[in-house]
């Protein structure tokens, strides 16, 4: 019976399969609720998510995913997805259980490539068993709501329309952040607190502040007045192709310029920060770790110190285990083996680069990682050039993994080690006393390799000799030692030393 169910579902996903010596096809009918039809955007990605358990919605915990972009669907009629349809992509593995739960998502928000972006649509959950007819209906009736920051006396939110980004895109684009005020903020008639900008992990949002408000241990410490008295700002990383990385790019637009010349001045006016105090800091982990380091390097005079945890690759000669400038392929290493993309702290590979990209291909409306909203879709948009079609240019082939070295060469301006190597005489003096990095030596994404080579470079610098602090913990994994509390303590100590 389990075999019958599994065969049925595989027929639905990938087309033709032999069942009881016959080739059978299956179909899913997808409709849009009447109240949503008027706002339908054509060309979005349909994602059918399957899960073997019902503790979470399939869209949040899928074992198997189908992706398809219906180019001519207007949303008014029912769209029928047939298993034999060309262009269907899938990733993951169908669970071997008697009942499988499924749900459809439509990536309706054209300004945000993420699946869980506000404005995207999704259906109720349906289930399939061995007695199913092979044809089922799902209705897109729910809309993902924008995240909301909790109201609190010591929390401020800000949202401004960015002229720089709006002019670039030809339509309004906005910048947002959430601000956690120190416990003594309202007791000080003259406010002059240090300020620290916290860059989130991949695709993080300003609503991350809610997690700290809900953390009783952190909240008790923060509001007791025992915590260092700093303004802690939670940045939002939304970009049209996924995480913006807070830097200028050909595809996302002048995100760095917008941050430093529009959002930061507006925030600092709101909280009465005094720029002359020179106590403007950065922190972040993972993607946010790269952002914290990148902003410090690209704006060395604006920021006065950075604390970077498990940063994304700081050196693209060690982009994970790949040298994008010399290696031929992203999926296979020079020994012909599948290139791993993730591992445990014991060194066991858990996920190949090929499978990683296949997953991003599935969720992208273009059928490749180009607009996936995932890690490599974001990398490609941030670091790469714009193509003739107005979309980012792919750095590597989404099916074969072959690297386009002409495109890879254009990533160099975001290769932070190369930037420092090429400009140390001017950047070095401005970065003294400002760089602190931590990573685990068994980083799950292999990002520690690039950090090692960054350290090797900084250790050899002269005129000036770098005083960057770069720490590695043996057997520690990705972001394992990240702690807002510890960062805030280090920021507070740094601010005290600058009196």
Q: Is the dihedral of CA 238, 244, 247, 252 positive or negative?
A: negative
CA-based end-to-end distance of the chain: 73
Q: 413, 439, 463: which is the final residue of a domain?
A: 413
The pLDDT value recorded for residue 96 is 82
Residue 328 sits in the same domain as residue 291: no
Largest Cα–Cα separation, the chain: 82
312-349 pLDDT tens trace: 999 999 999 999 999 999 999 999 999 999 999 999 99
Q: What is the share, in percent, of the chain residues with pLDDT greater than 90? A: 83
Instruction: Name which residue leads in pLDDT, 432 or 127.
Output: 432
The pLDDT value recorded for residue 444 is 98
Q: How far is CA 89 from the centre of its chain?
A: 22
| CA distances for 192 relative to 188, 274, 285, angstroms | 9, 6, 27
Residue 387 has pLDDT above 70, yes or no: yes
Residue 372 sits in the same domain as residue 383: yes
Residue 147 has pLDDT above 60, yes or no: yes
Over residues 79-84, the mean pLDDT reads: 85
Instruction: Name which residue leads in pLDDT, 13 or 281.
Output: 281
Residue 44 has pLDDT above 90, yes or no: yes
Residue 68 sits in the same domain as residue 19: yes
The pLDDT value recorded for residue 195 is 98
Residue 258 sits in the same domain as residue 357: no
Taking a C-beta distance cutoff of 8 angstroms, is the pair 453, 350 a contact? no
* CATH number for position 202: 3.40.50.1820
The pLDDT value recorded for residue 12 is 41
The pLDDT value recorded for residue 99 is 83
The pLDDT value recorded for residue 334 is 93
pLDDT band at 357 (very low <50, low <70, confident <90, very high): very high
Torsion of CA 368, 374, 378, 384, to 10 degrees: -30
| CA distances for 154 relative to 189, 210, 289, 496, angstroms | 16, 12, 26, 22
In a domain, 375, yes or no: yes
Residue 348 sits in the same domain as residue 419: no
In a domain, 80, yes or no: yes
Residue 78 CA to residue 233 CA, distance in Å, equals 45
For residue 54, whether the previous peptide bond is cis, meaning omega lies within 30 degrees of 0, is: no
**DSSP letter (8 states) at residue 318:** G
The pLDDT value recorded for residue 1 is 43
Which of 49, 45, 47 has its CA nearest to residue 59?
49
Q: 413, 435, 454: which is the final residue of a domain?
A: 413
**DSSP letter (8 states) at residue 263:** I
What length does the chain have? 499
Residue 39 has pLDDT above 60, yes or no: yes
403-460 pLDDT tens trace: 999 999 999 999 999 999 999 999 999 999 999 999 999 999 999 999 999 999 999 9
In a domain, 149, yes or no: no
Residue 223 sits in the same domain as residue 307: yes
The pLDDT value recorded for residue 134 is 61
Per-position DSSP letters for 16-84, written without gaps between them: --EETTEE---EEEEEE-HHHHTT--TTPPEEEEEES-SSS-TTTS-SEEEEE--TT--SSSPEEEETT
Pairing of strands 174-180, 231-235: antiparallel
Residue 321 sits in the same domain as residue 394: yes
**DSSP letter (8 states) at residue 442:** T
- 460's torsion region: left (phi>0), alpha (psi -120 to 50) or beta? alpha
Residue 3 has pLDDT above 80, yes or no: no
Residue 96 sits in the same domain as residue 162: no
Residue 467 sits in the same domain as residue 383: no
Residue 27 has pLDDT above 80, yes or no: no
Residue 399 has pLDDT above 60, yes or no: yes
Residue 219 has pLDDT above 80, yes or no: yes
Which residue has 């068994």 as its token pair?
Answer: 442
In a domain, 150, yes or no: no
Pairing of strands 306-309, 435-440: parallel
Residue 20 CA to residue 2 CA, distance in Å, equals 14
In a domain, 85, yes or no: yes
Half-sphere exposure of 499 (CA within 13 A, CB side): 6
Helices (H), strands (E): how many in the chain?
A: 14, 23
Residue 211 sits in the same domain as residue 326: no
The pLDDT value recorded for residue 368 is 96
Residue 162 sits in the same domain as residue 311: yes
45-66 pLDDT tens trace: 999 998 998 889 999 989 989 9
Q: What is the pTM of this model?
A: 0.92
In a domain, 348, yes or no: yes
Q: 372, 393, 413: which is the final residue of a domain?
A: 413
Residue 404 sits in the same domain as residue 258: no
Taking a C-beta distance cutoff of 8 angstroms, is the pair 439, 365 a contact? no
Q: How big, in percent rounded to 5, are the helix, strand and coil portions of the chain?
A: 30, 25, 45
Residue 19 has pLDDT above 80, yes or no: no
User: 375-383 vs 353-363: helix axis angle to the nearest 10?
Assistant: 80
Total count of domains within the chain:
3
The pLDDT value recorded for residue 394 is 97
In a domain, 101, yes or no: yes
In a domain, 148, yes or no: no
Domain span at residue 380?
317-413
463-498 pLDDT tens trace: 999 999 999 999 999 999 999 999 999 999 999 998
Candidate from 30-44, 99-113, 276-290, 404-418 with smallest mean pLDDT:
99-113
* CATH number for position 44: 2.60.40
Over residues 38-48, the mean pLDDT reads: 94
The pLDDT value recorded for residue 352 is 97
Q: Is the dihedral of CA 463, 433, 314, 471 positive or negative?
A: positive
Mean pLDDT of the chain: 92
Taking a C-beta distance cutoff of 8 angstroms, is the pair 489, 228 a contact? yes
Which residue has 């941050």 as its token pair?
Answer: 259
Instruction: Name which residue leads in pLDDT, 432 or 130.
Output: 432
Torsion of CA 93, 99, 100, 104, to 10 degrees: 160
Over residues 2-27, the mean pLDDT reads: 40
């Amino acid at each position: 019976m389990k075999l019958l169910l599994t065969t049925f579902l595989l027929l639905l996903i990938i087309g033709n399969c032999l069942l009881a010596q016959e080739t059978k096809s299956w179909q899913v009918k997808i409709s849009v609720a009447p109240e949503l039809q008027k706002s339908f955007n054509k060309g979005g990605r349909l994602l059918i998510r399957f899960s073997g358990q019902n503790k979470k919605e399939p869209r949040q915990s899928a074992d198997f995913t189908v992706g398809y972009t219906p180019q001519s669907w207007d949303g008014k009629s029912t769209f029928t997805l047939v298993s034999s349809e060309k262009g269907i992509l899938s990733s993951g593995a169908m669970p071997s259980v008697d009942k499988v739960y499924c749900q459809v998502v439509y990536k309706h928000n054209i300004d945000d490539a993420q699946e869980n972006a506000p404005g995207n649509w999704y259906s109720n959950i349906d289930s399939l068993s061995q007695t199913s007819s092979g044809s089922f209906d799902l209705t897109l009736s729910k809309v993902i709501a924008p995240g909301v920051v909790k109201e609190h006396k010591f929390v401020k939110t800000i949202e401004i329309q960015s002229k720089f980004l709006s002019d670039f895109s030809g339509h309004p684009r906005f910048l947002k952040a959430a601000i956690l005020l120190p416990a003594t903020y309202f007791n000080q008639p003259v406010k002059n607190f240090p300020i620290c900008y916290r860059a989130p992990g991949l695709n993080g949002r300003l609503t991350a502040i809610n997690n700290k408000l809900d953390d009783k241990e952190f909240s008790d410490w923060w509001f007791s007045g025992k915590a260092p008295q700093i303004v802690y700002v939670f940045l939002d990383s939304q970009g049209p192709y996924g995480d913006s990385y807070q830097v200028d790019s050909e595809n996302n637009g002048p995100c760095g310029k917008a941050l430093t010349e529009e959002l930061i001045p507006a925030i600092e006016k709101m909280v009465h920060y005094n720029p002359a105090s020179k106590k403007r800091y950065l922190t972040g982990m993972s993607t946010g770790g790269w952002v914290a380091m990148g902003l410090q390097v690209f704006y060395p005079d604006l920021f006065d110190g950075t604390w970077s945890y498990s940063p994304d690759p700081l050196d693209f000669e060690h982009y994970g285990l790949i040298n994008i400038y010399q290696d031929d392929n992203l999926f296979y290493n020079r020994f012909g083996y599948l290139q791993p993309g993730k591992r445990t702290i014991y060194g066991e590979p858990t996920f190949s680069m090929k499978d990683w990209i296949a997953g991003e291909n599935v969720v992208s409306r273009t059928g490749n990682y180009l607009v996936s909203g995932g890690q490599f879709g974001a990398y490609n948009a941030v670091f790469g050039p714009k193509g003739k079609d107005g979309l980012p240019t792919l750095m590597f082939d989404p099916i074969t993994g072959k690297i386009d070295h002409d495109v890879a060469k254009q990533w160099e301006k975001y290769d932070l080690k190369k930037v420092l190597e090429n400009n140390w005489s001017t950047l070095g003096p401005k970065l003294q006393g400002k760089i602190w990095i931590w990573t685990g030596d068994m980083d799950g994404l292999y990002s520690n390799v690039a950090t090692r080579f960054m350290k090797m470079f900084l250790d050899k610098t002269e005129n000036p000799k770098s005083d960057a602090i770069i720490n590695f913990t043996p057997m520690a994994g990705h972001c394992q030692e990240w702690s807002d509390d510890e960062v805030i303590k280090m920021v507070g100590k740094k601010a005290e030393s600058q009196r």
